[in-house]
Amino acid sequence: MKLSDFKINYFIAGAIGAIILMMFQPFLVEVVVFAFFLILFLLIQKKREVVLVFVIASSLVLTRSIDPTLRLVIQLLNYLLLSIIFFRQYEFHFQNYPRFPKIIVVYLGLLVFLMLISALHSPYLYLGISQIGRTILFFYLIYLLFAFLTNEKIIKNYLLGLFLVAMIYLSFLIYEFVQFNYDLLAFNISGTEANGNSYLHKNALGSFFVLSLLLLISFLFNNKYLRYRKWIIIFVAIFTSGLIITNARAALIALFFGVVFLLYYLRRSYLKYFSTIILTLSCLYFLLPTQKYVDMYFRLERISTGRDFILSSMWNVIKSNWLFGSGPAGSKYEMYKEIPYMLGSMEELYLRHHYDQIEFGHAHNFYLFFLSDLGIFGFILSLALPFIFLKISLQTISLLQKEKGENYYLALGITAFGIAMFVRGIFEWAGILSYGTIGYDLPFWILFSIQLFLNQKYKTKENFS
């Protein structure tokens, strides 16, 4: 991937400018949105890649905290734009439509079917139906993005969109950090109390920085990028700083496993150095007088207390709804029926805060989230996804290993990110498959779609050979 492939022309600059303008000048929102989309519509045929970058960036940058109505309008327009491009490219020649691998189609079919069965056995039928609709719409978006993956230039545009979003996220994070006079502890204490910053939840920020870091680290080992190595190291340092500021503990743990995977494949000799660094830092933690500050930063005194409250409550919900679950997004409304704490107690107040904070995912664990909402079969599906991802990813790496070109390092970076997210899923519920929540799930599925494209392309090439 040459830097020229990532040249930001004035169309992309205009997209970012429009997004920022919408954030800070709400009175101009309607004019800017429709004028900009009119311009994009006129340029669709000649500048499709610009539209794709804009769709990815706007879908992730415009969070609910900015304006829920604006976010909905932008998402609808994104769907419309992508649908127009798709039908102009493929028309109604169904035989030419790109196809997901059968295992993905079967998995998604089982997921929707299970969500429907669970909703029918739940007192929250309409809530379940709405989650099914949102999930189907989300995977329609993923299919459109997958369908446009016809060459490597489109892959680079997708990566450009993701890195642009990462830089915008980082800018907002630094802006808020500056408001605390660069006081890391005060910033994180405030963020813990507010459960994130005003723009985006810190766990979402953390997972996005993990994505950027793992891809950049994989590119760092590509000898074709020697001339860009200095810039890659600079961006690794920048995103690492962002992750430290964010202090998302699950993201830090996930990054550790992702880096171990990359080093195992790319430089096994570096694993001993990496282990030495970790061991040294652990020893310094116990020896230096800064231990109390490290404890405060990582909130070690609270490492399990809140999770204990949540797990106790959700376990009671699971025991009462173990077969079909509480229904999609229904576990929230079962929590207080099964709460093991007195109303007004410290534990109940903590749960109430957690209850009001999110719509679903109260199990605080991706796998238990599926178990509590969709029952035992949902739990099986949640465990099946990592196996499917790893099967396809390791096969892709094997297909690319002989050439060891750019796509080989990209496939490794994507696999490392997937492993990191599935590890993170033990501590957090979102970011993999949370009923099509675009702000959380889109990055994972964009990268997975790229992996699927590479797998199909090189498998076909090998069969032809």
- Taking only the tens place, the pLDDT of each residue in 190-212 is 654 444 455 567 778 889 999 99
Whole-angstrom distance, CA of residue 240 vs CA of residue 463:
41
Which token pair is 42? Answer: 């006129």
Residue 366 carries which DSSP code? H
Residues whose CB is less than 8 angstroms from the CB of residue 276 and which lie 6 or more positions away in sequence, other chains included? none
Residues whose CB is less than 8 angstroms from the CB of residue 69 and which lie 6 or more positions away in sequence, other chains included? none
Note whether 457 and 291 are within 8 A (CB): no
Indicate the SS3 state at residue 335.
Answer: helix
Alpha helix (H) residue ranges in 401-437: 406-424
- Length of the chain as a residue count: 465
CB atoms within 10 A of CB 116: 14
pLDDT in tens, 67-118: 777 788 788 888 988 898 898 889 888 899 999 999 999 999 999 999 999 9
Q: At what angle do helices 229-246 and 249-266 cross, to 10 degrees?
A: 150
Residue whose pair of structure tokens reads 């500048």 in the numeric block: 47
In order of 325, 423, 430, the CA distances from 435 in angstroms are 15, 19, 9
Smallest CA-to-CA distance from 143 within 205, 86, 195, 65 is with 86
Smallest CA-to-CA distance from 232 within 241, 245, 244, 221 is with 221
Smallest CA-to-CA distance from 249 within 352, 160, 338, 364 is with 364
pLDDT mean across residues, the chain: 83
pLDDT for 39 equals: 53
Note whether 201 and 246 are within 8 A (CB): no
Smallest CA-to-CA distance from 369 within 197, 359, 460 is with 359
Q: In which residue ranges of the chain is pLDDT below 50?
A: 1-11, 13-14, 18, 21-22, 25, 27-28, 192-196
pLDDT for 11 equals: 45
pLDDT for 301 equals: 55
